[in-house]
């Protein structure tokens, strides 16, 4: 009986020895977080606090040195407390500016529109032009076009005509008026028929001519 007990103990010691390290699956036994160390933990970064400033690319600047961090166009000064950067109140860009540069801390207008555009055409500053016979325009320094439309005087005739490239009608034959259906020139008496002599009112061309009857030549012949 004592012999069998001794053999059982031998088996208990032999069985664990058959389990080799290769038979253990490490995926079944995840390691503790403390054991999962990375090689990056061994890297040591320099501490420049109070000694200098580092920009986005990793370049180090000395205390008191001016630099431009990242994509900023405004300069910074390296201090013990870190970069102190300018944040100016930039002037407004002219609304007529056609070329803006961003090389400095503030955008800068390099070219202002120096012409006026009117009905699809460009005109120089202070240039005067006539887009139509009745308009007179000028390109102002503000790049705006100011126009004046001609105010035509009342013609002194009943048959005014419009000439090419002229805004206002003209009396080609001078002042006149109507005597009945006949147009007579102003300033003289006109015998319109055998019995009537007419003349135009002074300055009142729209009024019918003043006429006076006289002895008719036809009656005298009888």
Question: Is the dihedral angle over the CA atoms 41, 81, 65, 105 positive or is it negative?
Answer: positive
Task: Of 150, 158, 164, give the one whose Cα is nearest residue 179.
Answer: 158
Q: Which residues span the domain enclosing 129? A: 115-149
Query: Residue 148 has what pLDDT?
Result: 92
pLDDT single digits (tens) 77-92: 898 888 888 777 888 8
Q: Does residue 98 sit in the same domain as residue 125?
A: no
Query: Residue 105 has what pLDDT?
Result: 79
- Residue 151: half-sphere exposure toward Cβ, Cα within 13 Å: 1
Query: Residue 71 has what pLDDT?
Result: 65
Q: Does residue 101 sit in the same domain as residue 123?
A: no
Segments of the chain scoring below 50 in pLDDT: 1-45, 220-222
Structure tokens at 165: 């490239």
Asked whether residue 21 is assigned to any structural domain, the reply reads no
Q: Does residue 145 sit in the same domain as residue 183?
A: no
Query: Residue 92 has what pLDDT?
Result: 85
Query: Residue 72 has what pLDDT?
Result: 66
Q: Does residue 127 sit in the same domain as residue 159?
A: no
Asked whether residue 24 is assigned to any structural domain, the reply reads no
Between CA 176 and CA 200 the distance in angstroms is: 7
């Amino acid at each position: 009986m004592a012999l069998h007990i001794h053999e059982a103990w031998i088996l208990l010691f032999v069985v664990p020895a058959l389990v080799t390290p290769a038979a253990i699956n490490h995926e079944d036994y995840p390691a503790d977080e403390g054991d999962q160390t990375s090689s990056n933990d061994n890297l040591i970064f320099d501490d420049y606090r109070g000694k200098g400033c580092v920009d986005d690319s990793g370049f180090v600047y000395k205390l008191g040195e001016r630099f431009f961090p990242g994509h900023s166009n405004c300069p910074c000064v390296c201090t013990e407390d870190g970069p102190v950067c300018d944040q100016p109140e930039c002037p407004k860009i002219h609304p007529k500016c056609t070329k803006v540069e961003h090389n400095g801390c503030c955008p800068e207008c390099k070219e202002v529109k120096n012409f006026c555009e009117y009905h699809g055409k460009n005109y120089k500053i202070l240039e005067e032009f006539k887009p139509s016979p009745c308009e007179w325009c000028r390109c102002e320094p503000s790049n705006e076009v100011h126009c004046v439309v001609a105010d035509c005087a009342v013609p002194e005739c009943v048959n005014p005509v419009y000439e090419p490239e002229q805004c206002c009608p003209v009396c080609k034959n001078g002042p006149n008026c109507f005597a009945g259906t006949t147009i007579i020139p102003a300033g003289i008496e006109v015998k319109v028929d055998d019995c009537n002599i007419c003349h135009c009112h002074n300055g009142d061309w729209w009024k019918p001519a003043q006429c006076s009857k006289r002895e008719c030549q036809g009656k005298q012949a009888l």
